[in-house]
Amino acid sequence: SAVISQKPSRDICQRGTSLTIQCQVDSQVTMMFWYRQQPGQSLTLIATANQGSEATYESGFVIDKFPISRPNLTFSTLTVSNMSPEDSSIYLCSVVSGNDLYEQYFGPGTRLTVT
């Protein structure tokens, strides 16, 4: 299975600032996703990170707020822009290494607190 690392593991940020989260995978993967898990809630898909092109965002999420890059098959970044306390959440990178979605693995997550 793919080994996924995320940086930072946690951060406390002031409102109005931005934070970029990095996701690094130890092998090339076909698909990369970014999820959010708010306290007491399930995982919500933010977007699919597409290599070399714009990410595909889910309803309720926009590029200006959550810009995503994926320059190659092993790395992606998610930026949380102009943060507010409502953005406090755990952000998780997820990858699919094969053709079937059952091979989906999650990174350790980034715990973000916005004050």
Partner 1 sequence: QKEVEQNSGPLSVPEGAIASLNCTYSDRGSQSFFWYRQYSGKSPELIMFIYSNGDKEDGRFTAQLNKASQYVSLLIRDSQPSDSATYLCAVVSGYSTLTFGKGTMLLVSP
Q: Which helix (H) or strand (E) holds 93?
A: strand 89-96
Which region, judged by CB under 8 A, interacts with partner 1, from 16-24, 69-77, 81-89, 104-112? 104-112
Largest CA distance in the chain: 41
Of 42, 60, 86, 115, the one binding partner 1 (CB under 8 A) is 42
**Does 101 contact partner 1 by CB under 8 A?**
yes
Q: What is the DSSP string of 17-46?
A: --EEEEEEESS--SEEEEEEE-TT--EEEE
**Does 57 contact partner 1 by CB under 8 A?**
no
In whole angstroms, how close is the CB of 10 to partner 1 at the nearest point? 11
Query: Looking at beta carbons only, is 13 or 45 nearer to partner 1?
Result: 45
Distance CA(29)–CA(107), nearest Å, equals: 13
**Tokens at residue 59, please?**
């309803």
Of 44, 50, 51, 88, the one binding partner 1 (CB under 8 A) is 44
